[in-house]
Amino acid sequence: MPSTLKALITGITGQDGSYLTEFLLAKGYEVHGIVRRSSSMARPRIDEMTRNAEIYQKKLHLHYADLDDVTTIRRLLLKIQPREVYHLAGQSHVAVSFEVPESTCQFTAMGTLKLLEILRDCDPSPRFLHTGSSEIFGMPASAPQNEQTPLRPVTPYGVAKAFATDMVRVYRDSFGLFACNAICFNHESPRRGESFVTRKITRSAARIKLGLDRKLSMGSVDAQRDWGYAPDFVEAFWRMLQLEKPLDLVLSTGKLHRVRDWLDVAFKHVGLDWQQYVEFDPRFLRKADPQTLVGDSRLAETVIDWKPRVSFEELVQQMVDAELKSLSDLRPPLCS
């Protein structure tokens, strides 16, 4: 009988980490996650699994470590001996990277290098997936972007991801590690952090519909991105680590939408016209906004047979519905 497959996830409490954990558990994996110690035990995205006695500490294990806690992570890797390591942790907010460039680079860039250094010493070395970002392309000279597009980041986040992405390539080519970059374009879900524009819009549409808010303040509504659905992406992460040889793949929908499309679909879904509720606030304008970031995932389609399944409209509507549900769950029942 084959021994249990083990995976270690950094960033398990995040949007992608939580979906990936569910995905791997359903595939029969024993999942280990690295979590940061904080003053609160709340981990809303994985609470359902950690409250389940059938799962927690049987098939799912959490371990404390910060990303630059090299000795602890080394000890964990030696003890667990996972077949696969999914490296998702990092400061993931582009705008925030202008406020905290140093820690963004410390964890996203140097944190990845430190992990690669540990993997170099492991025997056998686990298969390793790093979540890169379309922000590495910054102001690309051509669109759509693929695995060959030159890196021209324009944000501290993009620079940190570009460093990490190149280091993964260097360690694969120089030390023979099974190390891959999933070069991810934006992907969203009801579990997206509340400070991201997509969640801000879907949340606001629901709150305005329920009479909890009156206005939504926005920066540019013309910014464009290639937005997909997070659970589609985590499946691609797993597929990449099942390949015979490691490689980098762009994961994207190949379709550009504007922020105003989010407003349009989200507010229409609750029967409202967004133009009546949205007000411009220059504080939300980006210092540098990458242009025409749209991915070409044909290589992923060929080698891992992957295509995004959920459409833009379905994604936005699913996020609005999730907000409506969670807000309704919080409201006291009406007295008859």
User: By the criterion CB under 6 A, which residues form the site for ligand NDP?
Assistant: 11, 13-17, 36, 66-67, 88-92, 107, 131, 133, 184, 186-187, 193
Q: Which residues contact 324 (CB under 8 A, 6 or more apart)?
A: 206, 209, 210, 270
Contact by Cβ (8 Å): 307, 233: no
Catalytic residue selected from 18, 133, 189, 252: 133
CB of 135 to ligand NDP, least distance (A): 7
Residue 274 identity (one-letter amino acid): W
CB of 111 to ligand NDP, least distance (A): 6
Nearer to ligand NDP, 208 or 230 (CB): 230
Catalytic residue selected from 157, 171, 229, 277: 157
Measured distance CA(18)–CA(36) in Å, rounded: 15
Nearer to ligand NDP, 31 or 208 (CB): 31
Nearer to ligand NDP, 208 or 315 (CB): 315
Hey, CA dihedral for 189, 194, 199, 203, is it positive or negative? positive
CB of 178 to ligand NDP, least distance (A): 19
Q: Active-site residue 133, yes or no?
A: yes
Contact by Cβ (8 Å): 219, 195: no
Measured distance CA(312)–CA(215) in Å, rounded: 24
Measured distance CA(60)–CA(56) in Å, rounded: 5
Nearer to ligand NDP, 49 or 67 (CB): 67
CB of 65 to ligand NDP, least distance (A): 7
Q: Active-site residue 117, yes or no?
A: no
Contact by Cβ (8 Å): 175, 242: no
Nearer to ligand NDP, 133 or 297 (CB): 133
Nearer to ligand NDP, 36 or 325 (CB): 36
Catalytic residue selected from 22, 30, 84, 135: 135
Q: Which residues contact 90 (CB under 8 A, 6 or more apart)?
A: 11, 67, 104, 107, 108, 111, 112, 131, 160
Q: Is it true that the peptide bond before 290 is cis, omega within 30 degrees of 0? A: no
Residue whose beta carbon is closest to ligand NDP:
14
Q: Which residues face 41 on adjacent strands?
A: none
Q: What angle do CA 174, 175, 177 make, to 5 degrees?
A: 120
CB of 271 to ligand NDP, least distance (A): 28
Contact by Cβ (8 Å): 280, 242: no
CB of 16 to ligand NDP, least distance (A): 4
Is residue 25 packed enough to be buried (19+ CB in 10 Å), middle (13-18) or exposed (0-12)?
middle
Q: Active-site residue 135, yes or no?
A: yes
- Catalytic residues, by residue number, are 133, 135, 157
